[in-house]
Amino acid sequence: MPDITLNFSRAEYAERLAKTRRAMEKAGVDLIIVSDPSNMAWLTGYDGWSFYVHQAVVVALDGEPVWWGRNMDGNGARRTVYMAEDNIVGYPDHFVQSTERHPMDHLSDSLKSRGWDSLRIGVEMDNYWFSAAAFESLKSHLTGASFSDATGLVNWQRAVKSPTEITFMRRAARIVEAMHAKILELAEPGLPKNELVAEIYATGIRGADGHWGDYSAFVPMLPSGVDATAPHLTWDDRPFKDGEGTFFEIGGCYRRYQCPQSRSIFFGKPPQKYLDAEAAVLEATAAGLEAAKPGNTCEDLAAAFFTTLDKFGIEKEGRCGYAIGLSYPPDWGERTMSFRPGDKTVLQPGMTFHFMPAIWLDDGGLEITEPILITEAGAECLCNTPRKLFVKS
């Protein structure tokens, strides 16, 4: 076995593989091609900024997984995964961004060499890293295989976190707390936004409590005033202004485990509607947290939140939370559970979520959100950042 330091024990990786194989058997597939880098990391430990080219982890019903990717990234696999050398497979660089050949052509040949070209193969059809061209290549070269959609198959096995994963989430929580503290310390009218973002990044990378910070899967969001009616604007060099509100949606990250949290600041005296929105959000958040108990569903939490908002005459469109954990850009969600009507997923101890009760007004936005852990006793907020609208004059 390679002489490397893994983030988790080999026993934990073995249990993850066993869970995945049980899900594969239930789905009726013999082999899965996993292209989501979060799933690749969860199954094998692989950690590299190489997801801009085609790569995958291949899992059959027995034996070790196979890491497959660009030749030059093979050394990254050798430094981060637990598999033997013959289960690290690289393709030559002339496959990269070629108009004459596709990297999946190479993967097909590799599967053939292992006798895996006539199996029932699952592929992650709906994610950021598996393209239509990739699927067409596989189908044209593996004519004896049958294909089915395995989107989310591995993601769902990640839903309940292990004790070590929860430890990593707690470390990420300390980091995002430090980031918000730095924002509250420095943010003021006249400060250019990019200057503050530089400090946000520096704080996040320095880490907290003696633990270093990894790069977040999402960039800081900090729109102000009317810009804050949109949820996903980033920053520029314009200074903060008196009489405007800004929400800060940021995330701490430790060993790829994400802990996002949002807080809002108003410079000057907030209009009454901001104070009314704050009161509504805080009461609705408390109601949602009360409903976040094992045995309840994601839908139950959403109902508690939205019902309370209704009392204040506030209508919110969309979900109010989602599963979080291990992730790579461009998204810190796990793309499984959501707090919204119709999601009947039962909450279990060890699940982690970003409870995201954001409100977007006609001339601004208010985000006061909480990363939470489901425990036997109910919801535990992973962060200690005060839950309120901050006001700075």
Q: How does pLDDT run across 162-213, given as a tens digit for each residue?
A: 999 999 999 999 999 999 999 999 999 999 999 999 999 999 999 999 999 9
Predicted pLDDT at 22: 98
Residue-wise pLDDT tens digits, 98-134: 999 999 999 999 999 999 999 999 999 999 999 999 9
Predicted pLDDT at 333: 97
pTM score of the predicted model: 0.96
Lookup: tokens for 6: 């893994």
Distance separating alpha carbons of residues 368 and 247, to the nearest angstrom: 8
Decide: helix, strand or coil at residue 117. coil
Predicted pLDDT at 248: 98
DSSP class of residue 151 equals T
Do 295 and 262 touch, CB atoms closer than 8 A? no
Average pLDDT over residues 329-351: 97
Average pLDDT over residues 318-324: 95
Residue-wise pLDDT tens digits, 57-107: 999 999 999 999 999 999 999 999 999 999 999 999 999 999 999 999 999
Predicted pLDDT at 2: 53
Residues listed for the chain: 393
Predicted pLDDT at 98: 96
DSSP strands (E only) in the chain:
31-34, 56-60, 66-70, 88-91, 120-123, 146-149, 245-254, 257-267, 321-324, 333-338, 352-355, 359-360, 365-366, 370-375, 378-381, 389-392
Average pLDDT over residues 247-262: 98
Lookup: tokens for 62: 């027995």
Any residues with CB less than 8 A from the CB of 387 and at least 6 apart, and which?
282, 285, 368, 370
Predicted pLDDT at 3: 72
Any residues with CB less than 8 A from the CB of 361 and at least 6 apart, and which?
229, 273, 274, 277
Predicted pLDDT at 360: 81
